[in-house]
Amino acid sequence: MPAFRTAAGRALGIRARSLVGRLTHPLLPHDYLGLLNPLWGRELRGRVVRVVPETDAAATLVIQPGRGWTDSYTAGQYVGIGVQVGGRFHWRSYSLTSTPVHDDGLISVTVKALPEGFLSGHLVNGLEPGTVLRLAAPQGEFVLPEPPPAKILFFTAGSGLTPVMSMLRTLQRRGAFPDVVLVHSAPAAKDVLFREELHALAARCPGFRLHEQLTDEAGMLSPDDLPRVCPDWAERETWTCGPAPMLDAAERAWQAAGIADRLHLERFSVDLSGAGGEGGTVTFRSSGKTVEADGATTLLQAAESVGVQLPFGCRMGICQSCVVPLAEGSTRDLRSGLASVAGDRVQTCISAAAGDCVFDL
């Protein structure tokens, strides 16, 4: 049996790592690896291999993930990306458009630059190949079950196509396409993400049917129009992603038809325009930092503005990664207006100060 698989071999390895750790103190061996190659450090990172334009306002970032990444994600999930701009790391979550099993080990996300989107514009227009990013582990429940349903409807608009693209590519890679209909809306042909690939897939795959709604010419497509473009829509398991009004309309339509359990939604943004907090002084006791925050600034944003790194994931109030205990004071959920008090656990990405509050962080 090889030495590293015996108890003595494992003990020797532990002593060796301990010795190396003492020699490198106060840094850890991983810190020195990170100096040699930024993808080998303790933090999960990735290097941008190339930036591929998709439309005038969107691009795909092809990324080589570093040490600690595994291909265990599921098609439809999203990943957190941290980019340093102006001396600060800015984080956003984007759907993976690659397939979980990929021969070259690369991953990809497709980003649409929004007029009000500071980071999305930088990722699409200002990011150079070779840039090292921080990555957060994949998350999300907007995924296909295994095995997939026999009849599927994807109902998407704009960049809501991105998680579905990973699902389509995964189904194609497996070579076992069920009965799939994609109903996708965009203003014009030039705005349709992956348009050439989608039309090619529809031409060669009998199980896949594409309805492309160009809204500048044909107008908006609502759930009321689905019987025309997909007559058996109510019989299909449906995944829908797009602007909030479209998702709200879909929820109402599926509920009215009595099939709400067949509808799966992915929201790219959360409405934080509800009842805000009054604002106040937010104290991070262990870090020795305080910040004055108004009632519309999330606690996560407030912390990052003074260099306090809180846990987070989706930044949308979905994944629960940002939940921390509130030591003193009160906060308010910006979506619902519900208050939290000392002893409660608070979602910092969608909550603001409702007076002075303290966290033991």
In three state form, how does the secondary structure of 195-257 look? HHHHHHHHHHCCCEEEEEEEHHHHCCCCHHHHHHHCCCHHHCEEEEECCHHHHHHHHHHHHHC
Confidence of residue 74 (pLDDT cuts 50, 70, 90): very high
**Strand runs labelled E in the chain:** 45-55, 58-65, 78-85, 88-95, 107-112, 132-139, 151-157, 179-186, 208-214, 237-241, 263-266, 280-284, 289-293, 323-325, 328-333, 339-341, 345-347, 351-359
Q: What is the mean pLDDT of the chain?
A: 86
**Quick check: 275 pLDDT over 80?**
no
Q: What are phi and psi of 78, to 5 degrees?
A: -120, 165
240 forms beta bridges with: 155, 265
Alpha carbon distance, N-terminus to C-terminus of the chain:
47
| pLDDT for res 299 | 95
| pLDDT for res 333 | 86
pLDDT tens, 129-150?
A: 999 998 888 888 999 999 999 9
Least confident stretch, 198-207, 295-304, 309-318, 321-330: 309-318
Percent of the chain surpassing pLDDT 70: 85
**Range from 28-42, 59-73, 116-130, 309-323 that averages highest in pLDDT:** 59-73
289 and 306 in contact (C-beta within 8 Å)? yes
Percent of the chain surpassing pLDDT 90: 60
| pLDDT for res 103 | 67
| pLDDT for res 15 | 58
Q: Average pLDDT, stretch 169-173? A: 94
Structure tokens at 98: 């690659």
Q: How many angstroms separate the CA atoms of 134 and 69, rounded? A: 11
Q: Average pLDDT, stretch 277-292? A: 91
- Which domains does the chain carry? 3-36 (no CATH), 42-139 (2.40.30.10), 151-266 (3.40.50.80), 280-359 (3.10.20.30)
**Quick check: 10 pLDDT over 80?**
no
- Which of 132, 159, 151, 143 lies closest to 59 in space, CA to CA? 159
**Quick check: 22 pLDDT over 90?**
no
| pLDDT for res 39 | 74
Confidence of residue 347 (pLDDT cuts 50, 70, 90): very high
Q: Which residue has the higher pLDDT, 50 or 83?
A: 50
Confidence of residue 337 (pLDDT cuts 50, 70, 90): confident
Q: How many angstroms separate the CA atoms of 41 and 36, rounded? A: 9
Q: How many angstroms separate the CA atoms of 287 and 252, rounded? A: 46
| pLDDT for res 126 | 83
| pLDDT for res 67 | 84
**Range from 51-55, 91-95, 332-336 that averages highest in pLDDT:** 51-55
| pLDDT for res 160 | 96
Structure tokens at 227: 């019987």
**Quick check: 189 pLDDT over 50?**
yes
| pLDDT for res 30 | 47
Least confident stretch, 72-76, 180-184, 192-196: 72-76
**Quick check: 9 pLDDT over 80?**
no
Confidence of residue 272 (pLDDT cuts 50, 70, 90): low
| pLDDT for res 56 | 94
Confidence of residue 288 (pLDDT cuts 50, 70, 90): very high
| pLDDT for res 137 | 85
Q: How many angstroms separate the CA atoms of 181 and 202, rounded? A: 10
CA dihedral sign, ordered 79, 94, 238, 265 = positive
Instruction: Work out the angle between the directed axes of helices 195-204 and 161-174 (0-180°, nearest 10).
Output: 40
Least confident stretch, 92-101, 151-160, 265-274: 265-274
Q: Average pLDDT, stretch 200-212? A: 96
324 forms beta bridges with: 346
